[in-house]
């Protein structure tokens, strides 16, 4: 097997991983959750308040993010805290934040 074939296989694998991430991000609720989490760890209640996502939907979307290993949780008393676990997801969210959120904030100031 030559180097070009090996690189192509690695590229295919990387493309599949990138497509999985993009598929997860394609739902607005999940995108907004990750956008909030890209700014730091948040409690479930905070996410619900900030985003206005009702509990059943919030739980469902957080479950998807956990199953895809994009977020991790920690429990403190009755509170569950979420944070981004995937460096790739965080990098993508930082770019999206810069492109779509920062520029809007700057435009209104």
User: What is the number of domains present in the chain?
Assistant: 1
CATH number, domain containing residue 56? 1.10.10.10
Question: Closest Cα partner for 68 from 105, 102, 26?
Answer: 26
pLDDT for 25: 95
CA angle at 10 for the pair 5 and 11, rounded to the nearest 5° = 95
In DSSP notation, 51-96 reads H---HHHHHHHHHHHHHTTSEEEEEETTEEEEEE--HHHHHHHHHH
pLDDT for 108: 45
Residues of the chain with pLDDT under 50: 105-106, 108-109
């Amino acid at each position: 097997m030559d180097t070009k074939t090996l690189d192509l296989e690695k590229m295919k694998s990387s493309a599949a991983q990138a497509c999985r991430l993009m598929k997860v991000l394609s739902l607005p609720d999940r995108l907004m959750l990750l956008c909030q989490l890209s700014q730091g760890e948040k409690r479930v209640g905070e996410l619900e308040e900030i985003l206005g996502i009702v509990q059943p939907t919030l739980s469902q979307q957080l479950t998807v993010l956990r199953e895809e290993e994009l977020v991790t949780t920690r429990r403190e008393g009755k509170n569950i805290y979420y944070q981004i676990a995937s460096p790739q997801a965080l990098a993508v969210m930082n770019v999206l934040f810069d492109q779509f959120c920062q520029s809007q904030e700057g435009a209104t100031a």
